[in-house]
Amino acid sequence: MIEYENLAKVNQPFFDKFKRAFKDVLESGWYILGGEVQKFEKEFASYNNVRYCSGVASGLDALILSIQVLELEKGSEIIVPSNTYIATILAILKNGLIPVLVEPDIKTYNIDSLKIETFITSKTKAVLVVHLYGKPCEMDTILDICKRKKLYLIEDCAQAHGAEYKGRKVGGFGDFGAFSFYPTKNLGCLGDGGAITTNKSEYHDKIKMLRNYGSDKKYHNKYIGINSRLDEIQASFLNIKLKVLDHINQHKRTLAQLYLDNLKDDHILPLVHKDFFDVYHIFNIRHEKRDELKAYLLKNNIKTEIHYPVAPHKQKALSFLSDQSFPISEEIHKTTLSLPVSYFHTKDDILKVIEVLNKF
Ligand SMILES: *Cc1c(COP(=O)(O)O)cnc(C)c1O
């Protein structure tokens, strides 16, 4: 059986280091917002070529807090891709704001930068882009729009740690980069975790308060904050894994290249372009007979996933969007299939998947 994901196998190379890190944190007696978190924030900021980074409790919180910092007027609209994971849209709703969904480009699966402008109204205050599957968005066009229309820019980098657009890492293009360290992500911890990157010191100072009850000084509260702190334990694991993030990404890129070089034409492959340094959090193909293909692979002992089976505007929780039509998103949701591309997979695993796929 070729599994889609196996987190014990992904983390196995780090077990000894994790055990030592756990022992150190355990014996230190300091479990929340201490030296490990500070070290991680400094090193993750440096890795992403940004000035500041704040650890938070999850990727969703990273998005929620990024938006909260801006204190946007009630009724403000935020532009977001229509085919994203629901967390991106929830973060807008949790701030009491209005998500305006824009269709993706069918080739990149990322927000269609050429369509954004037609959705801008007097209420639009920000664009929230998602570097989906580990491919960066078309940042030149997006930055230009945000500058001309005076819109804030937030990047959802939950699937794109280390991805680059024209040689620049994601997470530093906009006002904020929101990262998740959920265990399956390219940089994953052993529980929940997240981080917000920014180049503005006033944003950074405010995030550090908002994540800690809005407190600037112990028992003195400046904002209506929340409790969203990265644990010392998780930060200690992240400090170990951050050192090999480039290696993890490179491994996934090598596996992806095998698919790109060897899969036959009737599978629609992800776009490769010199502007994008993709990190393949997900390697997806598209196929007319997706469900049949998935069943066929399973019969041949190959597990796959679908990211995502239901488009956000078709979710019960977002029924207020159900009267809108997003044909491109729907086409993607109907035809996309995610192939094994994890850190623990070997080249032989992937060659086996290719062999089976090419016989379909
Ligand atoms: C995983 C993910 C999130 C949410 O991260 P959590 O840490 O699970 O809260 C947000 N956006 C996207 C695109 C994701 O893939």
Same domain, 93 and 238: yes
**Predicted confidence (pLDDT) at residue 209 exceeds the cutoff of 90:** yes
The percent of residues above 70 in pLDDT, for the chain, comes to: 100
DSSP string over 128-167: EEE-GGGPPP-HHHHHHHHHHTT-EEEEE-TT-TT-EETT
Read off the pLDDT of each residue in 32-46 and give the average, rounded to a whole number.
Answer: 98
Judged against a pLDDT cut of 90, whether residue 6 lies above it is answered with yes
Give the separation between CA 174 and CA 326, rounded to whole angstroms: 26
pLDDT category at 242 given cuts 50, 70, 90 is very high
Structural domain includes residue 23? yes
Average pLDDT (311-331) is 96
> Do 207 and 36 touch, CB atoms closer than 8 A?
no
Q: Whose Cα sits closest to atom 1 in ligand 1?
A: 158
Question: CB–CB of 170/164 below 8 Å?
Answer: yes
Question: For 13-33, what is the mean pLDDT?
Answer: 98
Task: Look at residue 2 and tell me if it is in a domain.
Answer: no
- Strand 98-102 relative to strand 77-81, pairing: parallel
CA-to-CA distance for 313 and 202, rounded, in angstroms? 35
Same domain for 119 and 25?
A: yes
- Asked if 14 and 132 sit in the same domain, the reply is yes
Work out the average pLDDT over 195-215. 98
| Nearest of 170, 182, 202, 226 to residue 85 by alpha carbon | 182
Tens of pLDDT along 140-177?
Answer: 999 999 999 999 999 999 999 999 999 999 999 999 99
Is ligand 1 within 6 A of the CB of residue 180? Answer: yes
Last residue within a domain, chosen from 227, 242, 257: 242
Question: Looking at the domain assignment, is residue 44 inside a domain?
Answer: yes
Res 22: pLDDT: 98
**Last residue of one domain, picked from the residues 242, 257, 288:** 242
Ligand 1: which of 64, 84, 85, 94 to mutate, most ligand atoms within 8 Å of CB? 85
| Domain encompassing residue 330 | 245-357
pLDDT value at 265 more than 90: no
- Residue 30 has a pLDDT of 98
- For the Cβ of 59 lying below 6 angstroms from any atom of ligand 1, the answer is yes
Report the CATH number that the domain containing residue 188 is assigned in CATH.
3.40.640.10
How open is the CA angle 256-86-170, to the nearest 5 degrees? 50
278: CATH: 3.90.1150.10
Question: Is residue 77 in some structural domain?
Answer: yes
Cβ of residue 11 lying under 6 Å from some atom of ligand 1: no
- 154 and 168 part of one domain: yes
Q: Which of 192, 217, 242 corresponds to the end of one domain?
A: 242
Kindly report the average pLDDT of the chain as a whole number: 97
Domains: count for the chain: 2
Span 70-89, mean pLDDT?
98
Instruction: Please provide residue 129's backbone torsions phi and psi, each rounded to the nearest 5 degrees.
Output: -90, 155
Considering the entire predicted model, what is its pTM?
A: 0.98
Pocket lining: 60 vs ligand 1, CB cutoff 6 Å: yes
